Chain A
Amino acid sequence: AQSVAQPEDQVNVAEGNPLTVKCTYSVSGNPYLFWYVQYPNRGLQFLLKYITGDNLVKGSYGFEAEFNKSQTSFHLKKPSALVSDSALYFCAVRLFTDSWGKLQFGAGTQVVVTP
């Protein structure tokens, strides 16, 4: 069975400081990994994904994530956080072999960026 863990319920960071949101996964095969962001009362907005290739993936709004197969992690990073980055972030995984492509999400990490 596959699973995704986001070990931190909340991450607090000052504006301008680096932001890291952690994600670890457990799958029996090759994973596709995704990060989404959710603002209050809104749907999920796609940030980036890892399918194959370069382990460092760059996405929207200055975010990037690094796929680490040995540590089964896919942490989301941003060099300099903005107040507008305050939102709920979700990591998701799907199996390469899953022909239906359904996603399994972590519980989410609330990011709070203070001015």
Chain B
Amino acid sequence: DTGVSQDPRHKITKRGQNVTFRCDPISEHNRLYWYRQTLGQGPEFLTYFQNEAQLEKSRLLSDRFSAERPKGSFSTLEIQRTEQGDSAMYLCASSPGTQETQYFGPGTRLLVL
């Protein structure tokens, strides 16, 4: 299967700890998106990469959040000093272009205690 993969699938952490999530997009997809989904809501856009360049960030992405895509392939999303409000499903999606469909990974479910 050559779909989008995310690791880990689940993460439980204590408030104040740092966490990092990884996303591997579909091969040759140059566009990568991060979304956050809370219970009972649709996904909300967080940030977007075209190759290695981070081109847009949502206001939802506070200073505690940072995302990278160092070689234009996989991406990481780091949350520093986690808060209980960070508990959510973090979804990654990739597409070959803006005209194209975004394909989503299975998500990383974060629980901050």
Residues of A within 8 A of B (CB): 4, 34, 36, 41-46, 49, 51, 90, 92, 98-108
Contact = CB atoms under 8 A, between A and B. Distances in A.
Contact of B42 (A41, A100, A107): A107
Contacts, number: 61
Given A41-B109, A100-B48, A100-B56, A46 B101 contact: yes
Interface string B34-57: 010000111111001000000110
Contact of A92 (B4, B40, B42, B103): B42
A34 B44 CA distance: 15
B45 A103 contact: yes
Given A43-B104, A51-B99, A101-B95, A90 B48 contact: no
A98 to B, nearest CB: 7
8 contacts: A42-B106, A43-B4, A44-B91, A46-B103, A101-B97, A102-B45, A103-B33, A105-B42
